[in-house]
Amino acid sequence: MAPIFRKYGKWIAIGLVAIVVIVAGILILRVLNFIGDVQATRVSDSIVTQDTQSFAQATVTAQARLCAASAECTANPGAVMAKLTPVVTTVPAAILTPTQTPDVANSKIVQRIKAGERISVMYMGYGGPGHEGAYLTDTILVMSFDPLTSTVTQFNIPRDLYVSIPAGPGGKTFKGKVNGILSTLMKWEKPTQDELDPKYRFTNPQEQHSAGANLAANTIQNILGIKIDYWITMNFDAFRTLIDKMGGITVCVERPFVDNNYPRNDDDTVDASVMTVKFDAGCQVMNGERAIQYSRSRKSVGEEEGDFKRSARQMKVVAAIKDDVLKKNLIGNALGYMDALQGKLRVSMDPTEMFALANFFNSSEGRTIASNIKFDPEIMTGNNYIQETDKGGSIGYALIPRAGEDKYADIQAWVKRNFTYAMVRRDNAWLQVLNASGIQGKGTALTDFLSDQGFRMSETDAAALEDETYLIDYTNGAATGNLTKIKQFLPRIKIFPKTADKKPYPNAPDMVLFLGKDYKGVTTS
């Protein structure tokens, strides 16, 4: 063998170098093609916020009710209520203006995370070519990450929400359902684009898609009253193949359900028949198809029926993807993911920022941050801030704010409240107050107060008399935000931790607080 290398070593070396160069060139082209296909630019309008006095007013009202049942508050109501005013944690100005460096690891988005600055991303899921309503975005989620509390607050945008869409020049708006914004731009059939604001005009399919996503993001900014920094669009095929490439995801199904009317095919012109999908309660590994069935089902009978329950399940899937990404080497299989997502995904983030973000979360510092993240699912439903209406004509069934069309002050106050009380909300724990004091009204007053402090409250009830105030904690200590706040308000309370399987019935509250005869009110210092 040695004589061969001596005689042909030069040419063998040249051949090996050529192979390396060719392979590297192919990889670079694949990466560049992928980036060119998925990368888009976020074009944002200024945010229109509405009067959110209702947030402060609701807090004062609940505090006043608490005051009526509290001896401490009766003695000095002004001082007590001042202490209960919600305070949003802020970051020192010096931290909020970090020194930028040309190093990719210190990119703008990474610096923002390190500075504790909130970052909000809108995700839109659509069927894609070959599906009925190819570009209708029936899944719209806004995920707002707060590094200060390691919380991702998730908001659903109901697909039937009837909104004013700021698509026209000079601020002119059009009316329509929010799930049709991307579709309208992708199906633009008018001879010119004069009816569109210049920032939404396009010259090729990539620009067309980006224009629709930017218009949707700018519309949703005005609904929630927060800046949407980035958007992601993904079709069904990308969703399926992404999860399959990950080897499936682990999803904990809270309640079993059966949907006998699940579409057998995404496009009913191909096959309009239906089939049955069934999910048992408990944690289970789902492949891409199974995960999309879990995320899309909305016609089961019972507690999982409808669009709002579907939104909650979609949020669970997002959280499951995050958890499994941390367990698996996403970066190490980058080419596989690029193949899975090619032509099916668009992201409004600069490629440099994407790589910087991936590298950061693959570092020890980034993985520490990611591993501490909890998801706070907040569902906008007909029970709180929106109501059903019939617009007739081609629109038909629709949803509008309870306050009236385009009146989003209550929704924006709700968003602000969830941000303010993130450490409590992120536990996703339901608390019930049982009045065992023998004094009428104390349970209701405390429930109202705790609700305004961000707690997820079940309806209060009376209970047999108890001498002492105590808490049964069926989260077994996991609801750390709730427990910290409860001990702040009731420092002498006795807490009895138990596991969830010890609940008296399956859907019982996660924590039950018994108000005993010794209850004199909350401590606010």
* C-alpha span between 107 and 171 (Å, rounded): 33
DSSP, collapsed to helix, strand or coil, labels residue 474 as: coil
Evaluate whether 255 touches 280 at the Cβ level (below 8 Å): no
- Token pair recorded at residue 51: 């009067």
Q: Is the pLDDT of residue 135 over 60?
A: yes
* C-alpha span between 349 and 109 (Å, rounded): 10
Identify the DSSP state of 357: H
Side chain identity at residue 60, one-letter code: V
pLDDT band at 298 (very low <50, low <70, confident <90, very high): confident
> 10 Å Cβ neighbour count for 469?
19
Q: What is the pLDDT of residue 525?
A: 65
Report the DSSP pairing between strands 249-253 and 282-286: antiparallel
Least confident piece of the model among 46-50, 92-96, 171-175, 383-387: 92-96
> What is the pLDDT averaged over residues 146-160?
94
The residue count of the chain comes to 525
> What is the pLDDT averaged over residues 333-359?
75
CA 328 to chain centre: 22
% of residues, the chain, pLDDT over 70: 79
Evaluate whether 399 touches 382 at the Cβ level (below 8 Å): yes
Give the mean pLDDT of the chain.
83
Angle (deg, nearest 10), helices 351-361 and 364-371 = 80
DSSP, collapsed to helix, strand or coil, labels residue 83 as: helix
Give counts: helices (H), strands (E), the chain.
18, 20
β-pair partners for 233: 124, 346
pLDDT band at 399 (very low <50, low <70, confident <90, very high): very high
Domains of the chain: 13-40+106-233+349-419 (3.30.420.590), 53-86+423-515 (no CATH), 247-327 (3.40.630)
Q: What is the pLDDT of residue 176?
A: 95
